[in-house]
A and B are shown apart, each in its own frame.
Chain A
Amino acid sequence: MTMNTQEMTTPTVNNGVNVEAILGAREALEATPQAAQFKWRAECSWVDGTQSQSTVSGFFGLGEEQSRGKEFTVDADHPEVFAANDMAPTPVEIVLSALASCLTAGVASVAQNRGIQLNSVTAMVEGDMDLQGILGIDSDVRNGFSAIRVTFNIDADASEDDIKALVAQSQKRSAVFDIITNPTNVFVEVG
């Protein structure tokens, strides 16, 4: 529709997102779709019991290997009620964190682009799971979440509907939201 005023960037708004760089990248990648082909990676090593540690470093993008010059690690384990050592979050909690992080990054970016100053953003995320699935008790129950709920609390210099629109747009452009809401072919091989 014609309500474009909110799309204009007001220079006083600073959410710490470089929107000009993102828009520039969008333009550049539109002209060279090959450069937009990325590969993200993680390398996971078993530690002990149900504990493992993933290492994240390089990725492929813009037509070549990209080196960050550093490594991040992500630890995962399972809680004591699973008779595990609870050294780290469970993988499903990492998935929920990833969803919340992706949506939150989106909220900040969209807000910057729309000239909305954010004061605080928190997201509570909760996923429902019936353990009869992963424990093999009932084959009609799926392993994964039956539903996920995210509740945002956002303090920003904007109307309630403008804030809702931020959250809606961030879902529309979120990779993790898409990964969770739509199927993906997964190929697991033994090397």
Chain B
Amino acid sequence: MKYVTTLIIGAGQAGLAMSKHLADRSIDHVLLERGRVANSWQSERWDSLRLLTPNWQSRLPGFGYDGARPDDYMDMPQVVNYLQTYARATNAPVQEETTVLSVRRTYNGYIVQTDQDSWNCQTLVLATGACNIASVPKIADAIPASIRQLTPLDYKNPGDLEEGGVLVVGASATGVQLAREIRASGHDVTISVGEHIRVPRHYRDRDIKWWMEVTGILGTNYREIDDIKRARKLPSLQLVGSHEGMLDLNSLSNAGVEIVGRVAGLHNDQLQFSGSLANMCAMADLKMNRLLESIDQWVLEHGYSDGAPPHRFEPTAIKNDPVLMMNLKDSGIKTILWATGYRPDYSWLDVPVLDHKGAIRHDGGVVDSPGMYVLGLPFLRTRKSTLIDGVGDDAEYLADHLVASLSRVAA
């Protein structure tokens, strides 16, 4: 049995940011990583994915982008290289190729069993990410076997797909990106749309993420939010890391993608789509316009004079009679791609900290178990908690909390 004060599980941006803050506070610690640094960026993402945030906004504690293209978006090899460079720069004590099998609580800490060795630690940081498992609705179990079902964790590029139609379920960042590239490769594509968040990539000559930062939206603290449960479940923005213009339902429609409502039922091989599509689109347009208004308001209040004048985008156009039913036996659909969100995997965590929906109980990252912390979950402490740019502040706060909890034990 090895001993260390703090174990960090996961060596992605969250684990590395925490490691830097613990090192700055002279807390001895080890990071356990099942693969290599930035493993899920390397092995669990599709080929064309780029970060949704511009390069300049990938700041980590004591580290930032210093390349020649601050306004571009990193592809996955670049993200992996960026995080590996950070790990070296901070001398992060990473033990790679080590899979955690179980975590148990003891009277004064945790025992972490891995496939290499067992560890005893006083404090534990879960930095394993929010996207370990693709969430797929139950209805998937009843889809006829003739249809191939994929999740974004399986999908790499359109070359993986059989000939024939593709139904992409979900219209957040993942769904709209995959619908676009699969359509561009020549497949017939239908996209099923529920609640979504429509935003332009650029507004008034600036990246939307720049606006969201300066107006304080990204930094909003979780304690300022009326309904934090809801805020933590909001879908990702309809964005792609590219300067090619807005990726929304209108641009998908123009590219020949069929837009249908949320998957609502399956009856005799007929997939049924909700009639709520018009309202889903109306809500997204209203929400986008409120965001743009708040930006315009900020510009007025701050006398900011760079950039183009305000403008509004065309409302989302949907057909008068969106398709409500699709017969899976004769519609030509060969593949269903479930872009219906992700969730963390805590199957190895034998500590009773999950609620009845399987989510971890925490208050701003302080888990409901002494000395346990979590990082990198949606709206953990701020709206940017899942961004590379946001995890540093969270790690700093939680590192202080962790140090205080150690000194309480020592006293």
Which A residues form the contact surface with B (CB < 8 A)? 1-4, 7, 146-147, 161, 164-165, 168-169, 171-172, 177-178, 180-183
Contact = CB atoms under 8 A, between A and B. Distances in A.
Contacts of A180: 275
A161 B286 CA distance: 7
Given A2-B215, A3-B290, A183-B272, A168 B265 contact: no
Nearest to A183: B265
Contact of A4 (B226, B283, B286, B289): B226
Nearest to A3: B290
Contacts of B275: 180-182
25 contacts: A1-B217, A1-B290, A1-B294, A2-B220, A3-B294, A4-B226, A146-B321, A147-B320, A161-B289, A168-B279, A168-B283, A168-B286, A171-B276, A172-B279, A177-B276, A178-B276, A181-B264, A181-B274, A181-B275, A182-B265, A182-B272, A182-B276, A183-B265, A183-B267, A183-B272
Question: Which of A2, A4, A146 counts the most chain B CB atoms within 10 A?
Answer: A2
Contacts of B286: 161, 164-165, 168
A171 B226 contact: no
B340 to A, nearest CB: 16
A168 B275 CA distance: 14
B287 interface: yes
Contacts of B62: none
A182 B137 CA distance: 15
A182 B274 contact: yes
Contacts of A178: 276
A60 B188 CA distance: 48
B294 A171 contact: no
A169 B279 CA distance: 9
Instruction: Decide if the interface of chain A is mainly helix, strand, loop or mixed.
Output: helix
A171 B217 contact: no
B359 interface: no
B27 interface: no
Contacts of B195: 172
Interface string B292-322: 0110000000000000000000000000110
A115 to B, nearest CB: 13
A76 B290 CA distance: 44
A181 B276 contact: yes
Contacts of B294: 1-3
B287 A2 contact: no
Contacts of B77: none
Contact of A7 (B226, B261, B267, B291): B226
A7 B287 CA distance: 14
Nearest to A164: B286
Contacts of B276: 171, 177-178, 181-182
Interface in B257-294: 261, 264-265, 267, 272, 274-276, 279, 282-283, 286-287, 289-291, 293-294
Interface in B25-65: none
Nearest to A180: B275
A147 B276 CA distance: 12
Interface string B212-254: 0001110010000010000000000000000000000000000
Question: Which of A146, A171, A181 counts the most chain B CB atoms within 10 A?
Answer: A181
A104 to B, nearest CB: 15
Contacts of B320: 147
Contacts of B287: 1
A62 B188 CA distance: 49
Nearest to B264: A182
B225 to A, nearest CB: 8
Given A147-B320, A181-B275, A182-B276, 6 more contacts: A1-B217, A1-B291, A165-B283, A168-B282, A181-B276, A183-B264
Nearest to B266: A183
B279 A171 contact: yes
Given A181-B275, A182-B265, A183-B267, A2 B283 contact: no
Interface string B377-390: 00000000000000
A2 B216 contact: yes
The 5 A-B pairs of least Cβ separation, nearest first, read A181-B275, A183-B265, A182-B264, A171-B279, A168-B283
A164 B287 CA distance: 11
A1 B289 CA distance: 11
Question: Which of A3, A4, A161, A168 counts the most chain B CB atoms within 10 A?
Answer: A168
Contacts of A172: 195, 279, 283
Interface in B66-106: none
A180 B276 CA distance: 9
